[in-house]
A and B are shown apart, each in its own frame.
Chain A
Amino acid sequence: MGYQQKLRGLVVSTGLLGVTLMGLASPGWAQDYKQAPMLEEKVKSGALPAVNERLPEHPFVETMVDGVGKYGGTLRTTILANGDQYNLTRTIANELLVRWDPQWKNIVPSLAENFKVSDDATTYTFTLRKGLKWSDGQPFTVDDIMFWYEDVFMNDALSPAKNPTFVVAGKPVKVTKIDDVTVEFKFESPYGLFLQQLAYGQGHLPVIYPKHYLQQFHEKYNKAGIPDLLKANPAAGDWVALFNSKISLTFQPQFWQNLELPTLNPWILTVPYADSERVVATRNPYYWKVDTAGNQLPYIDGVTWAKLDDPQLMALKMTSGEFDFAFRHINNSTFKSVLFDGQETGNYRFVDVKDLPANDAVILLNLNSTDETKRKIFQNKDFRIALSHAINRQEIIDLVYVGQGAPAQVATQPEHELFNEREATQYTEFDPKISNEMLDKIMPNKDGEGFRLDDSGKRFTINFMVADVFGLSYPDVMQMVQTYAKDVGIDIQIRTTDRARLNTMWAANEQDAYIWNCVGGLSEVYTDPRCYMPFQKADIFFAMKWSEWYSNPATGEEPPAEIKALMASYDKVNAAVTDDDRREKMKAFLNLSADNFLNIGISRPMPKYLMVSKDLKNVVDGIPITGNLWHPAPTLTQWYFDKAN
């Protein structure tokens, strides 16, 4: 246990400058690592090398929740039949150079044994664990990272645009090999958030490209052999398509359809996520983590996902005890009562999940609307404040969200260090009187039905796009908002639509307004402030022309001074190099964002849950999950069945 404390003590927080994590002293038991019985047999028969040869020199030593576990068992879980590849990612695939600890507090070395950050936050040096191996037994070295950098990331055919995680101020990273285990990432300008970005899901890009396997599909390495490979693969027209069919970008299902692809994950696929009725993975004999007693992880032999077409069937099978673990699709209020009643028959218990976005329902007015009149009114902060006061949030929460929520704006959660009472609750009091007074100054004239008129004397109408997504009952919420708005003379027309149509409207900047949920309730707000300022174009579109300008001033529209100030304030967050400085800069940024009051939040989200078998131990309670924090994947290796099934 003393060793563990040492590990904790050594944990490096993101900004501790220039601190090199010295290689964790090799444990005294280095000579007698233990392994799962199923691998023991393979070693005896000569099919596998001994466990000490398979593990790196200094394996990652996992911090246990309950204690050292036992080997065996199959984790039975479930997945939607299609379009649910993130479920696999979040269960078995989240191995990175550095990772967030399960509490989402600190960044700790993972595949890298240690890392060093330069004082100006431009240069990051990683030292890999010596002797890391891909799941096929081939060594994982800096050459694999260089393969990703030189032949994938910098290759214009494979990466026509550069992933923003590795770009700062429009300039992509420069990666240099120092030696077989040391690699340097260098940026032209300060990028203090790089470690955080690297510890989130997308940060896995440098470590998912096994050179020894993928080079055969790359034009640079196998120009002569590619025509034959193309003939054998009817789905690919050229080498780029062929390469992408072997390891496609992670957001595409093809990533989970290639069984040959070597990985660094704890379990490796044996039945792909394709047209079979289930997905199966078995333990990776070369996995590079051990427990505190020197047992190679993971404890559980394999994972099976039953592919189901319908979440209701998932819930039913959970209650009949057919799964040991489930969370996605059935961990919302719709299913909670059924699942609660089924705990005995299904032999499972609930574990809290801190899946806490900034807001469950946000009204996003299009500040860059192409309609001159509407743009002017939407850009008027007083109009947004007036509309905010007109909404009876508590009534919406009681009626639509069965009391699960609290009136709030888009803001960080009360439990988070960045929480600020004013940012969270400003303009949330239900007060139609104030609202009317403010609106009377902006649009004093009304028509016969009591609706306000714009400057040209026409009724001011907001066409509101509403899609029924995330199980958050947006159509019901909007109907109530429509009534409240009518009471203060604002005409809201609801246009129900589906997500795909909304997507095309965003891209063309055609919508007046829509309702969506907002990320940024916990620490992800540092790297993903898309609801707090015009940022990347994904999901949140309230000022897309300004976001375009932010990513490239030659495009989009130049925003007004206060928005520019907001953007500059976030740039300071990105340039900050110490934790404390970054936190202060972030607080200033959030404060400024609240001053600008860009969008109108309705309800603060409440924690969600996941279900695990009562026999499973070492399960982290209250694990945080967000869009880019792909938990609980990194904690599953220490799960074990107390009653091996």
Chain B
Amino acid sequence: MLRFLAKRLVFAIPTLFAVSIIAFIIIQLPPGDYLTTLLADWASQGGAVEEGTVAAMRERYGLDQPVYIQYYKWIAGILMHGDFGISFELGKPVTELIWGRLGFSLLLSLLTLCFVWAVAIPIGILSAVRQYSISDYSATFLAFFFLAVPDFLMALSAMYLMSAWFGQSVGGLFSAEYVDASWSFGRLVDFAGHVWLPVIVIGLGSLAALVRIMRANLLDELSKPYVTTARAKGMSEFELLIRYPVRLALNPLISTLGWILPAVISGEIIVSVVMSLPTTGPLLLRALLAQDMYLAGSLILLISVLTIIGTLISDILLALTDPRIRLQ
């Protein structure tokens, strides 16, 4: 097990290097740079900027240097000082910006995962046990319906419904009075009052996949001899279901658990933008649009790291929950 882990970790290092180089080059591929965007906005405000000022700013930001030098400076900063560079637009070190938002991203992902599992697993079991029944068809239909509706449309409709019919304040994770407050019981209640809507909107989209996986896996297991044996021995139908086939059917779900880590950063960008959630998604999108390259590069690098770690965690979890995998 330890050797396996060590091997995986060693292989991860060149992968990360390659990813960082590719990420950095891709970010630089579109024409123009951060200043181009900035100056375009300024021009539309009636401003004109003199060539000299632009050239000086470009030099100050190091944007006049070749890509490989910019990359070297960035990666050297990370390796030697843990310094991911500065966000041009927000004027702060990248690390500071990312940590501030990572917490909410993680929390949102976890809550969504809990919601999806809590809904998808029972529905999947129901669909499998009552295969081709009305409940199977309607559950499947609903799940596919939500899969088919684009998430931004769902977000907009949900917000419109809540706002127009129930008069609830939508968007963001807090009411105005709690946005800058420190954590308190009141803020927690306010958070709970806001967070359920994005959780449901994001969760509904991924429901279908989980329901179908659960249903298919369980159907495979239900026809296996050990189920018949257990039933023959007089085990109650519910206990039988939960103790054996469901446990096995959960394996694929556990193997996807690791994906939640990269999704923390990049997942649900569109929903987060539409609903104005303080997560890393909108930060990444804006960094890419504004060509704020150190911020964008660092976020992409972080996504890659988390993907690798996530996959590793999935493998370990699988090994823990399923002895058969361990033995192979």
Contacts and interface: CB of A to CB of B under 8 A. Distances in A.
Interface of A: 76, 81-83, 86, 159-164, 200-202, 234-235, 237, 240-241, 244-245, 249-254, 257, 271, 274-278, 280, 304, 306-310, 312-313, 316-317, 319-320, 322, 345, 470, 498-501, 503-505, 519, 524, 528, 536-539, 626-629
A82 B88 CA distance: 12
Given A161-B52, A309-B276, A312-B274, A524 B159 contact: no
Contact of A163 (B43, B50, B91, B274): B50
Contacts of B180: 271, 276-278, 280
Contacts of A626: 46
Rank and list the top 4 A-B pairs by shortest CB-CB distance, nearest first.
A627-B46, A161-B52, A628-B46, A161-B50
B172 A277 contact: yes
16 contacts: A82-B286, A83-B41, A161-B56, A235-B92, A251-B39, A251-B42, A275-B92, A310-B274, A310-B276, A316-B163, A503-B31, A504-B31, A504-B32, A504-B36, A538-B47, A539-B43
Contacts of B100: 275
A423 to B, nearest CB: 22
Contacts of B18: none
Given A159-B53, A274-B92, 7 more contacts: A83-B37, A162-B50, A271-B180, A275-B92, A309-B272, A309-B286, A317-B169
A253 B291 CA distance: 14
A257 B31 CA distance: 28
B22 to A, nearest CB: 21
A539 B45 CA distance: 10
B174 interface: yes
Contacts, number: 172
A504 to B, nearest CB: 4
B86 A235 contact: yes
Interface in B41-64: 41-53, 55-56, 60
A628 B45 contact: yes
A524 B46 contact: yes
B220 interface: no
B44 A306 contact: no
A628 B43 CA distance: 10
Nearest to B34: A500
A275 B176 contact: no
A500 B31 contact: yes
A313 B89 contact: no
B159 A316 contact: yes
A320 B30 contact: no
Contacts of B80: none
Given A310-B276, A501-B32, A628-B47, A160 B40 contact: no
Contact of A161 (B51, B93, B172, B179): B51
Contact of A503 (B36, B51, B52): B36
Given A81-B276, A251-B41, A275-B90, A241 B176 contact: no
A631 to B, nearest CB: 12
B44 A251 contact: no
B275 interface: yes
Contacts of A539: 40, 43-44
B25 interface: no
A500 B89 contact: no
A468 to B, nearest CB: 14
A538 B91 contact: no
Nearest to A345: B164
Interface in B234-292: 272-276, 278, 282, 286, 290-291
Contacts of A308: 171-172, 276
Nearest to A548: B51
A628 B45 CA distance: 6
B107 interface: no
A241 B92 contact: no
A549 to B, nearest CB: 14
B131 to A, nearest CB: 42
Contact of B179 (A276, A316, A470): A276
Nearest to B281: A309
Contacts of B83: 234
B156 A312 contact: yes
A83 B286 contact: yes
Contacts of A159: 53
A160 B90 contact: no
B89 A83 contact: yes
Contacts of A163: 50
B39 A499 contact: no
Nearest to B81: A234
B276 A164 contact: no
Contacts of A234: 83, 86, 93
B91 A257 contact: yes
A435 to B, nearest CB: 32
Given A161-B50, A309-B276, A500 B44 contact: no
Contacts of B89: 82-83, 253
Contacts of A250: 47
Interface in B298-324: none
A630 to B, nearest CB: 8
A320 B39 contact: no
Nearest to B55: A160
Contacts of A274: 90-92
Given A162-B50, A500-B291, A627 B171 contact: no
A540 to B, nearest CB: 9
A80 to B, nearest CB: 9
Of B32, B100, B282, the most chain A CB neighbours within 10 A belong to B32
A86 B41 contact: yes
B167 interface: yes
Given A251-B39, A501-B30, A628-B46, A313 B179 contact: no
Contacts of B86: 234-235
Contacts of A306: 171-172, 176
A503 B180 CA distance: 38
B45 A627 contact: yes
Contacts of A504: 31-32, 36
Nearest to A202: B47
A320 to B, nearest CB: 5
A201 B47 CA distance: 9
Contact of B32 (A201, A316, A503): A503
A499 B86 CA distance: 24
Contact of A309 (B32, B52, B282): B282
A320 B164 contact: yes
B214 interface: no
Contact of B45 (A251, A309, A310): A251
A506 to B, nearest CB: 10
A162 B286 CA distance: 31
B97 interface: yes
Nearest to B277: A309
B289 to A, nearest CB: 8
B160 interface: yes
Given A280-B180, A536-B48, A309 B30 contact: no
Contacts of B30: 498, 500-501
B41 A201 contact: no
A465 to B, nearest CB: 12
B97 A275 contact: yes
A611 to B, nearest CB: 16
Nearest to B96: A275
A301 B290 CA distance: 34
A56 B77 CA distance: 51
B38 interface: yes
Given A274-B92, A500-B291, A240 B276 contact: no
B86 to A, nearest CB: 5
Given A202-B47, A306-B176, A313-B171, A160 B56 contact: yes
Nearest to B174: A277
A316 B158 CA distance: 12
B229 to A, nearest CB: 56
A319 B159 CA distance: 12
Contacts of A252: 38
Contacts of B32: 500-501, 503-504
